[in-house]
């Protein structure tokens, strides 16, 4: 396994992290738009709307990261990689909820700040694990 922070890989990894973060913002906006639309306009229970939003954003984020961030062909190992991506996303989300709870309940941090810290921690972990496990580095030229 290559070291993603070695001097040789640092520049590419930084570019990938920026792209990954931008796609995360797009996915977050999509998730919220679906949550709001399904709940407010269609009267769907908000928890169900949130799950649908999470799934839609996950498919969107995975597809955009596969093609744009990690420069892979869309049809190559799509479902296998999506399974890894979804598993890592669920793990990161659960970790984020735990961080949110611990910082808010035990450290006395305002829940919005706790959530911001949890999102940074979860998103960072998400990127690293997806780079290493989901989108394994293939031999390709530096872009």
Q: What is the pLDDT of residue 9?
A: 83
pTM of the entire predicted model: 0.81
Structure tokens at 46: 């908000």
Whether pLDDT at 56 is above 90 = yes
Return d(Cα 124, Cα 130) in angstroms, integer.
Answer: 10
Residues 6+ apart with CB under 8 A from 34: 49, 52, 53, 56, 57
Burial class (CB in 10 A: 0-12, 13-18, 19+), 47: exposed
Of the candidate ranges 5-9, 43-47, 61-65, 102-106, the one whose mean pLDDT is the lowest: 5-9
Structure tokens at 21: 């973060």
Write the pLDDT tens digit of every residue in 105-121: 999 999 988 888 998 99
- Give the model's confidence band at 142: pLDDT under 50 very low, under 70 low, under 90 confident, else very high: very low
Compute φ and ψ for 47, nearest 5 degrees. Answer: -70, -40
Return d(Cα 52, Cα 32) in angstroms, integer.
Answer: 10
Return d(Cα 36, Cα 54) in angstroms, integer.
Answer: 12
- Give the model's confidence band at 140: pLDDT under 50 very low, under 70 low, under 90 confident, else very high: very low
Q: What is the mean pLDDT of residues 12-21?
A: 94
Return d(Cα 28, Cα 14) in angstroms, integer.
Answer: 21
């Amino acid at each position: 396994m290559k070291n993603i922070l070695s001097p040789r890989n640092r520049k590419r990894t930084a570019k990938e992290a920026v792209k990954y973060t931008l796609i995360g913002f797009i996915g977050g906006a999509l998730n919220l738009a679906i949550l709001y639309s399904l709940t407010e306009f269609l009267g769907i229970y908000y928890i169900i709307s949130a799950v649908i939003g999470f799934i839609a954003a996950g498919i969107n984020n995975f597809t955009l990261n596969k093609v744009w961030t990690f420069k892979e062909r869309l049809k190559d190992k799509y479902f296998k990689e999506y399974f890894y991506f979804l598993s890592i996303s669920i793990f990161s989300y659960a970790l984020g909820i735990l961080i949110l709870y611990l910082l808010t309940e035990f450290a006395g941090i305002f829940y919005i700040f706790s959530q911001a810290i949890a999102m940074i921690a979860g998103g960072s972990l998400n990127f690293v694990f997806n780079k290493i496990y989901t989108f394994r580095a293939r031999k390709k030229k530096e872009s």
